[in-house]
Structure 1
Amino acid sequence: MKLEFGKNKNIPKAYETQILIALSYFPELKNATIAFVLKKANTPLSARPSFIGLFQSAKNRKYTITISEETNSKLEPILFKNLNLNAQIGVLGHELSHVSDYMEKGFGKMSTLIWIEIFSKKEVDIFEYKTDLRCINHGLGYQLLEWSKSVRVNLKIDYWRGADNLRYPSKKERYLNPETIIKIMNSNALYGNGINLSVE
């Protein structure tokens, strides 16, 4: 797997298996340059192109996926190292879905994303919703479901809107809830028909 999916990737040894499994669902990223970085960060995981990459063609950009090793006490239960294997692959799938999306965008559309992130929570909701949908469509629905359930059980919240929004409870669905993931999978031929899953 490393020979096939590890090209141009800087992968921490501790999480090599999880990362390579997640990458195997994104054949379009085989040649993308991605560094997986372990560091202290408030957000459990994040994906970003380099600043210089914004001005480059999509195929020449370099991307960084940050995996937080230390955060505040409230978010500690959902740090990558504290998740089970499926949830780890699921959240990696979400971040790789971001990279997959960025690979399709030129400078203009990437600049629009930056504007949205700063000025429009509604558009961020739509963007993250579509990112979860992309992850499901790549075949990682079960793993994303496990991540979604882990967040809601461990943080005791129904609607996960990201590390920076914990103080502002909302019923708006930024990241897909387990019920929504199951509904989408039930209508997706990739997962067969009539899957019987529980959110418990």
Structure 2
Amino acid sequence: MKLEPKFKLLFIIIAFASLSINAQEVVKNFASNSYEIDTLNELKKEFGTNKIIPTLYETQILIALSYFPELKNTIIEFKLKKTNTPLSSRPNFFGLLQSSKKRKYIITISELTNSRLEPILLKNLNFNAQIGVLGHELSHVSDYMTKSFSKMCNLLLIEIFSKNQVDKLESRTDHICINHGLGYQLLDWSKSVRKNLNIDNWRGADNFKYMTKKERYLNPETIIQILKINPLYHQDENFTNKMI
């Protein structure tokens, strides 16, 4: 996918704006054994406030949270349960009536789904890709934080009645994740989904049986093109080699 000049300019502007909110430097690949207990305790102390985090994915979640400093005090519960969709994010129903900063948000991580989607459950992804998809879900929360009750209701209507608008929403959420510094992790997730499911385009669990050329979640080629023009990913001279 080749980006038009006007979109290149838009991405650059957004990326520069995001420089001031990123808590961590860009990392290409996180390793599961690279975080010692003291480091994790520091992450938990700084980014674990008002969070309910399952022990199984504590490290991945804390790393992802460290890239969203605007969510430091946001109430977020990460739930493990059996559900068809591998991951999802939403505000607590009653929280919709509260101001965005007082809402509680639920990120659901599926432990069991149908056999076709089993390969892309969080537990079956590599460590780096896990952080990428968690970053995508936190990007939803970050976006929800900017929306009033009426705008959240509008989002609900979009999800019910307009697949095309959902495509745009999810694509925008991927851009948010990239602009927070987790572009390499999102790329890893994007590659993993398409490889594990043997598909070219991923339009979500509810649309999995429909073959489509439409791009709801950014394809690897698209993410690479965005990273090439995003200044967050050009902070060293080895950028070109990192894309290989």
1:195 CA displacement: 2.9
The answer to whether structure 1 residue 109 and structure 2 residue 151 are counterparts is yes
The number of residues matched between the two structures is 198
Alignment partners' CA distance in 1, 2:208 and 2:240? 32
The answer to whether structure 1 residue 176 and structure 2 residue 221 are counterparts is no
1:183 alignment partner, SS class: helix
1:25 alignment partner, SS class: coil
TM-score norm. by structure 1 comes to: 0.97
Q: How does 1:88-107 map to 2 (within 5 A)?
A: 88-107=130-149
RMSD (CA atoms): 0.9
Q: Deviations over 1:118-177 (max 9, x none)?
A: 000110000000000000000000000000000000000010000010111110100000
2:73 alignment partner, SS class: coil
In the other structure, the counterpart of 1:22 is 64
The answer to whether structure 1 residue 191 and structure 2 residue 236 are counterparts is no
1:195 alignment partner, SS class: helix
The answer to whether structure 1 residue 163 and structure 2 residue 175 are counterparts is no
In the other structure, the counterpart of 1:130 is 172
2:79 alignment partner, SS class: strand
Determine which structure has greater relative contact order: mean sequence separation of CA pairs < 8 Å that are 6+ residues apart, divided by chain length: 2
1:48 alignment partner, SS class: strand
Alignment partners' CA distance in 1, 2:66 and 2:150? 29
In the other structure, the counterpart of 2:125 is 83
Alignment partners' CA distance in 1, 2:153 and 2:174? 21
Q: How does 1:35-46 map to 2 (within 5 A)?
A: 35-46=77-88
Q: Which runs of 5+ in 2 are unaligned?
A: 1-42
2:240 alignment partner, SS class: coil
In the other structure, the counterpart of 1:151 is 193
Alignment partners' CA distance in 2, 1:70 and 1:184? 33
Counterpart amino acid of 1:2?
A: K
TM-score norm. by structure 2 comes to: 0.80
Please point out which of 116, 121, 130 is paired with 1:74.
116
Identity %: 72
Alignment partners' CA distance in 2, 1:128 and 1:94? 9
| Shift >4 Å, 4+ stretches | none
Alignment partners' CA distance in 1, 2:91 and 2:146? 13
Alignment partners' CA distance in 2, 1:99 and 1:89? 15
Q: Which runs of 5+ in 1 are unaligned?
A: none
